Each structure stands twice: as C-alpha cells, then as structure tokens.
Amino acid sequence: MHLLRKSIQSLRISLNSRRLGNGREPSENFTSVSVMQAVGFVMTNKYSEGYPSARYYGGNEYIDMTESLCQNHAFEAFWLDPAKWGGLQIPSFLAVNVQSLSGSPVQSMYSLSHGYQTDIKKISAVSIFFETAIQIE
C-alpha cells in the first residue's frame, strides 16, 4: 500500500506542476479532456525521452520519480536483478505511428521536407533545388 500511495502522490505532484506550467517545453501541449480520458494518464502532456535522471529536456523530475518507481515495481514483481535489467523502460514502439510505416503514397505527397510543389509554384527549398516527382501507383 505504501508504494501505491507513493505512486499516486507522484502523479498528483506531476499533474499540479503541469497545470502551473512548470518546466514545459515549447513543443508540449495539453491534450483535450476527452483524449485524457481515453488515454487515462496525466503524464501524456509531458515530453520526456531518455532515462530517469538522464533526460535531454528539463522539468522531468516527477516523470523520473514515477518511472523509477515503476521500474522498482517491475524488478520486485518479476524477481529481476536491477544490475542486469537497470535499463528497463516502456518500449517506445508502443506509441508508433503505423501509418507512416505503411508505404502509402499519401505519406509523401504533402510533406514540405519531401519537396512539395504545385504546378504553379515550388514551395519548399527541396523542390527549388531539386526536381521532385511523386509517383502514385
């Protein structure tokens, strides 16, 4: 019960910190209430790549606390040796955008990085310096 209370406390601290705008990155947004209800996790709004205490962006102390706590729960639940499994982390592929891996031609049609242009105007630097052609099969 003590560990559960500690987990809940960590989540509450993180949520209150997010509401106050502490440590937010410009690329972070608040999701809508309906998305938050569907996802069911208050830390959805925080960008935190990397491992606890070694993240690129700041403001992740509550994420670090929670992730470390979850790692410790996993070590105990599955009788794992932390020295051997110390890098245990939720696989990043769980949130993969499958559509971008599908090979669909729509993926390359309107991206400025792929040299987007119209019949009248070349819009991106790639299309100005290179001839771009989109093949739709």
pLDDT tens-digit series, residues 97-134: 555 555 555 555 555 556 666 777 776 777 777 776 65
Q: What is the pLDDT of residue 68?
A: 86
Q: Are residues 29 and 69 in the same domain?
A: yes
In a domain, 134, yes or no: no
The pLDDT mean for the chain works out to 68
- Give the max Cα distance, the chain: 66
Residue 74 domain-assigned? yes
Q: For the chain, how many structural domains are there in total?
A: 2
Of 84 and 15, the structure prediction assigns the larger pLDDT to 84
DSSP bridge pairs for 55: 50
Please check whether residue 91 lies inside any domain of the structure: no
Does 45 fall in a domain? yes
Cα distance between residue 42 and residue 27, in whole Å: 17
Question: Which residues have a Cβ under 8 Å from the Cβ of 59 and sit 6 or more positions away?
Answer: 17, 22, 23, 24, 25, 46
Q: Are residues 6 and 31 in the same domain?
A: yes
Q: List the domain range (segments joined by +) for residue 65.
A: 2-85
* Separation between Cα atoms, residue 60 and residue 44, nearest integer Å: 12
Whether 81 and 103 share a structural domain: no
15 with 38: CB under 8 angstroms?
Answer: no
- Exposure b/e, 2-31, CB count within 10 A at least 16 = b: eeeeeeeebbeebeebbeeeebbeeeeeee
